Amino acid sequence: MDKRNCSSVPEFLLLGITNKPEMKVALFIVFLIVYPTILLTNVGMITLIRMDPQLHIPMYFFLSHLSFSDLCYSTAVGPKMLLDLLEDNNPISFVGCFLQLLIVSIFIDVECMLLAVMAFDRYKAISNPLMYAVDMSSRVCYQFLTAIYVFGTIDGFIHTSLAFSLCFCHSTQINHLFCDLPPVLLLSCSDTHINELVLFMLFGFIELSTISGVLVSYCYIISSVLKISSTGGWFKAFSTCASHLTAVGIFQGTMLFMYFRPSSAYSLDQDKMTSIFYLLVIPMINPLIYSLRNKDVKEALVRLRSKWWF
């Protein structure tokens, strides 16, 4: 489309989850509990890992960055969504919309890749524990982390820049609770096939590679565990992976449903509910999954509580 026919868009209007006042009040109360819980549990997890020397190992190093990722993308959406539930008119500036989509895109990618690296870390710890400290040294961990953040940032900028270089000639009402890529593309009067192709290729590559990495790592883990003669060794090995498998299943299952279901099955209302789940529910339950099912975290909490008590 000719750029001369594009008018500048100073702001967008988020239609939010619902326009029913009674539903807005109920949802505001729920999310007023959920978002502070996200802050408390994820900041608490990061602080605990930083303060306890016994948690200064690769597994918890990556877990602290998983909590940081959860904290970032939920904060990009949560406070604005709470404010929108209190008001009838929910504008968001062009720059604000750009930043919201950028932050969510970056940290969703980061979380996908972190979960895959954490699976690789568990494979190294179980298959060859004597060489674990060498294979997953601080240098290797920081190389993994740097690659994750660089790739996530590049991917996020590509999607966001392509989306906001389109023309928005007609409605500026985004029928969603935040500036997500699919509803933003629906507003454009430009040809969005390039955006959709890039989304499918890049995010598809990330999903395929990370899920494949998790599956391959766990195939090797199962192979290594089967070589352990004692039942106690089996239980200990699988118990260290249970929390991670739960987190991977919930997060990746949601991502696959969100972005790779057939277009005929697409529904904006369904999309909103799924977005709430991965933006607010998953960041809330991830720290609980890793703390309630993890002996090391429980013991670290006891040590920290005893230190504060004295």
Q: List the domain range (segments joined by +) for residue 271.
A: 3-309
Q: What pLDDT shows up at residue 90?
A: 82
Lowest-confidence pick of 36-40, 102-106, 165-169, 304-308:
304-308
Q: Residue range 123-144: average pLDDT?
A: 90
Residue 107 confidence (pLDDT) above 90: yes
Residue 121 confidence (pLDDT) above 80: yes
52: left (phi over 0), alpha (psi -120 to 50) or beta: beta
Residue 310 confidence (pLDDT) above 60: no
CA dihedral 258, 264, 267, 272 (to 10 degrees): 10
User: Helix, strand, or coil here: 157?
Assistant: helix
16: left (phi over 0), alpha (psi -120 to 50) or beta: left
**Which one of 111-120, 189-198, 253-262 scores highest in mean pLDDT?**
111-120
* Phi, psi values for residue 90, rounded to 5°: -120, 70
Q: Residue range 44-72: average pLDDT?
A: 91
Count up the domains in the chain and report the number: 1
Q: Residue range 29-43: average pLDDT?
A: 94
Name the E strands within 142-277: 173-174
Report which of residues 1 and 23 the model is more confident about: 23
Please give the Cα distance from 47 to 58 (Å, whole number): 16
Q: What pLDDT shows up at residue 308?
A: 62
**Measured CA distances, 215 to 74, 107, 129, 153, 202 (Å):** 27, 22, 20, 25, 20
Q: Residue range 185-195: average pLDDT?
A: 85
Percent residues over pLDDT 70 in the chain: 88
Q: Residue range 246-251: average pLDDT?
A: 89
Q: What pLDDT shows up at residue 152?
A: 95
Give the chain's length.
Answer: 310
Percent residues over pLDDT 90 in the chain: 37
Tokens of residue 160, six digits: 């966001």
CATH number for position 14? 1.20.1070.10
pLDDT band at 160; cut points 50, 70, 90: very high
**Which one of 49-63, 104-118, 159-173, 219-233 scores highest in mean pLDDT?**
104-118
Q: What pLDDT shows up at residue 64?
A: 94
pLDDT band at 1; cut points 50, 70, 90: very low
Please give the Cα distance from 24 to 9 (Å, whole number): 28
pLDDT band at 2; cut points 50, 70, 90: very low
Q: What pLDDT shows up at residue 100?
A: 94
